Amino acid sequence: MTGFGSFFRQLARDLWSQKLRTFLTTFGIIWGTVAVSLLLAFGHGLHRQMIKSTAGLGDRIVIAWPSRTSMVYEGLGKGRRMRMMEEDIEYLKAQVELIAGISSEYSDSLIARYGERQRSVSVSGVSPAYGTMRNMIPAVGGRFINDLDVEKRRRVVFVGNELAEDLLGTLEAVGKTVMIHGSPFLVVGVLVPKEQDSAYSGRDHSKMVIPESTFRALTGDKYMNNFIYKAPSPEFNEVLNDQVRAALSSRLRFHPDDDQAVQLWDTSEMFVFMDAFMLGFQIFLGIMGVLTLVVGGIGVSNIMNVVVEERTREIGIKMALGARSRSVLTQFMLETMILTAVGGGIGLAISFAICSAFPVNLEEYVGLPTLSPGLAVLTASILGLVGFVAGYFPARDASHLDPVVAMKL
């Protein structure tokens, strides 16, 4: 204990005797730590926000549009229009085992009215699986379309949150009756507000969703506009897409290689691109932060070199009295690591405070910076490495001093 007490008294004396230099060196470590941790935290928060916004359309779903053929096949010319009905969806369910969920989608712009308020609204007729695949989650007290609604052709409607507020004002929407295309519909659910940065027929917050069977009865449409489906896991999407196209080419009679007959939008490709882009972006941010931290490490190395020069005579006396080179090396390394740890601890505390105080209303634009335990450990590891390298060379020089020469200086 006496040895450690003497060591810390010596360290405090050295640091106090060089207050400005110690402050500037510690500030460099603090600044570098804050730079590394905050850059990584903001990169992590931005990545999560981008995934969240992209998943607003649907989590790695595939959206398909029956279009026109672009190849001659079995005597049939190109340019034929592909039309799909509900029976084709049932055929895909039976033929393609990899399908984890599928729903047709019929859509049109219809007039919706409640009281004196009237709006032209995008209305979609879908199956129950649509809600899960498209991340259309009902608010508390409501629900999405269910199988019984489809079977009974019920006049029920699920409403986007902004549309519900626009059409019904401050009233509780669930349980109210709205007129759609001249027919009464019971509101059974309202969308939980969600972030959505991409769409193909308008944002979900301004749409209405009704059972596909009801939509066909209401409008007389029997051909769907598009359909969406999902694989059990994203890695099966490519195989599933091939199977769906092969099954439809056989049923609708178009060339199996004709990718224009039924056009597919595999949204999982967006997630793959985003993950790769954000990985590169975070590596770039990390490198910038590390370089800033290295500057602080250079400051630590400089101050330790000065300390070694000022204490050369003392080191010589210690070594003459029997102190080994290893103990001298250890002493100076401990001093360096303590100085680095203090600066790093203050830097991490500042970073945590900034992340905690970050305005929530900016989440939509840059995400919420999150300094997770993993990022804190990574920052501490980088900091420890910088501190070790910064202190090793001055400490090594001190441990290699010749006691006779050192006592004369």
209 pLDDT higher than 50: yes
Q: How far apart are the C-alpha atoms of 334 and 388, rounded to whole Å?
A: 9
CA 371 to chain centre: 14
pLDDT band of residue 389 (cuts 50, 70, 90) is confident
Residue 53: other Cβ atoms inside 10 A: 17
Q: Is the pLDDT of residue 406 over 60?
A: no
Q: What is the DSSP letter of 191?
A: B
pLDDT digits (tens, 9 = 90+) for 40-95: 888 888 878 777 777 778 888 999 999 999 999 988 888 999 999 999 999 999 99
Tokens representing 384 are 């420890």
Average pLDDT score over the chain: 84
User: What contacts 208, CB < 8 A, 6 or more positions away?
Assistant: 110, 112, 121, 122, 123, 124, 157, 158, 159, 160, 163, 180
153 burial via Cβ count (<10 Å: 0-12, 13-18, 19+): middle
Distance in angstroms (rounded) separating the CA atoms of residues 342 and 297: 13
Enumerate the β-bridge partners of residue 230: 101
Distance of alpha carbon 347 from its chain centroid, rounded? 25
pLDDT digits (tens, 9 = 90+) for 1-40: 455 566 567 666 666 666 776 777 777 778 778 888 888 8
- Residue 123: what pLDDT? 96
Q: What are phi and psi of 156, to 5 degrees?
A: -125, 155
Q: How many CB atoms within 10 Å of residue 172?
A: 12
- CB 67, CB 237: distance < 8 Å: no
Quote the CA–CA distance of 52 and 68 in Å, as a whole number. Answer: 34
Q: Give yes or no for a contact between 43 and 281, defined as CB atoms under 8 angstroms apart.
A: yes
Q: Say which residue, 168 or 390, is predicted with more confidence.
A: 168
Residue with more model confidence, 369 or 300: 369
Rounded CA gap, 4 and 308, in Å?
Answer: 19
Six token digits for residue 35? 């730079």
How far apart CA 82 and CA 241 sit, in angstroms, is 17
Lowest-confidence segment of 49-58, 101-110, 218-227 by average pLDDT: 49-58
Mean pLDDT of 172-190: 95
pLDDT at 148: 96
| Range name among 63-77, 188-202, 375-389 with the lowest pLDDT average | 375-389
- Nearest CA among 29, 26, 37, 23 for reference residue 294: 29
pLDDT (tens digit, 9 = 90+) per residue, 84-102? 999 999 999 999 999 999 9
Residue in the structure block whose two tokens are 């052709």? 153
pLDDT at 407: 55
Q: In whole angstroms, give the CA distance from residue 339 to residue 377.
A: 18
Q: How far is CA 294 from the centre of its chain?
A: 29
Measured distance CA(348)–CA(371) in Å, rounded: 9
- Residue 127, phi then psi, degrees to nearest 5: -100, 165
The model's pLDDT over 257-284, given as tens digits with 9 standing for 90+, comes to: 999 999 999 988 888 887 888 888 878 8
Q: What is the mean pLDDT of residues 104-123?
A: 94
DSSP letter (8 states) at residue 234: G
Give 345 or 161, the one with higher predicted confidence. Answer: 161
Rounded distance between C-alpha atoms, residue 7 and residue 18, angstroms: 17
Give me 240's structure tokens.
């599933």
Identity of residue 405: V
- The model's pTM is 0.71
Per DSSP, 205 falls in state G
Pairing of strands 207-211, 117-126: parallel
Q: With H, G, I as helix, E, B as strand and everything else as coil, classify residue 311.
A: coil
